[in-house]
A and B are shown apart, each in its own frame.
Chain A
């Protein structure tokens, strides 16, 4: 019973944080609401006996991605940045009408469908007999999903190289190496004076 009440509380807080993320004018307020949502999702993972993922969620999202976003928001100096009117105002009304409809469809389908499983579901006792959540995850990861695990490292390397190349400042002509016509090279002492 306690589990269900906690699920409702954390889920409601996650939804409130998500709504705040997409409605705040200030980017920083949106970012902080987003992190609030992520932390609530991590607590829901804890309720689901996914202990490793709860810690990974806080480390990766609330740690790494939050710092990355904060760094770029500060780096770009958006203080005088103002959100303009939408180019297509009808899009706003369409979204407000259509997204609750889509959500109602999702909920109708989920509630009316019958969910069956041949198993009983993971319980703390079952995890105990497996040797713990992290142990079980590690065994399945390195037995069944070793190739995807290696490919994930390739994705990270590709993303890193792509990010560095895209964010690099383009060379302007003023910083190009100076060249001289042969025979007109300046004397070393003239260069020293210039420096």
Chain B
């Protein structure tokens, strides 16, 4: 009575699409960072599901690396948020257009 692999794939694609929609819909830098974390989690669900399906624990190892990268990304992203808020006094990404060509 195991869970079919399709269910993992559908759940992970739903979470990934929600994260992508969040990046495109919201103009707040924090919500965009949250959405990126959501998308990383969706990928992790895929890896764990296939790791079980193929009876191979390398997929679960890869999730550990994704977690390390997610932690690094959160730290750097929050540092950028802090620097931007200090300089511009806002977090609306549409206002950060100084490098627009």
Contact = CB atoms under 8 A, between A and B. Distances in A.
Contact of A65 (B10, B13, B37, B48): B37
B5 A141 contact: no
Closest 8 CB pairs of A and B: A159-B72, A22-B22, A119-B55, A106-B13, A163-B79, A166-B79, A167-B79, A87-B94
A1 interface: yes
B70 to A, nearest CB: 7
Nearest to B93: A87
Interface in B12-44: 13-15, 17-22, 24-28, 30-31, 33-35, 37-38, 41, 44
Given A21-B22, A50-B52, A137-B61, A115 B6 contact: yes
Interface in A135-191: 136-137, 139-141, 144-145, 148-149, 152, 155-156, 158-160, 162-164, 166-167, 169
A50 B91 CA distance: 38
Nearest to A135: B57
A145 B82 contact: no
B1 A1 contact: yes
B17 A102 contact: yes
B83 A167 contact: yes
B78 to A, nearest CB: 5
Contacts of B1: 1, 3-4
Interface in A76-134: 76, 78, 81, 83-84, 86-88, 91-92, 95, 99-100, 102-103, 106-107, 110-111, 115, 117, 119-123, 126, 133
User: Which interface residue of B30, B34, B67, B94 has the most chain A CB atoms within 10 A?
Assistant: B34
B75 A68 contact: yes
A33 B65 CA distance: 24
B17 A120 contact: no
A156 B64 contact: no
A61 B70 CA distance: 9
B55 A126 contact: yes
A39 to B, nearest CB: 11
User: Which interface residue of B49, B61, B80, B83 has the most chain A CB atoms within 10 A?
Assistant: B61
Nearest to A140: B57
B62 to A, nearest CB: 8
B2 to A, nearest CB: 6
A18 B94 contact: no
A27 B44 contact: no
B37 A156 contact: no
A83 B18 contact: no
Given A22-B21, A99-B17, A50 B51 contact: yes
A60 B76 contact: no
A148 B65 contact: yes
Given A15-B15, A60-B71, A139-B57, 10 more contacts: A21-B18, A49-B52, A53-B44, A60-B67, A61-B41, A64-B71, A83-B92, A86-B94, A111-B6, A156-B72
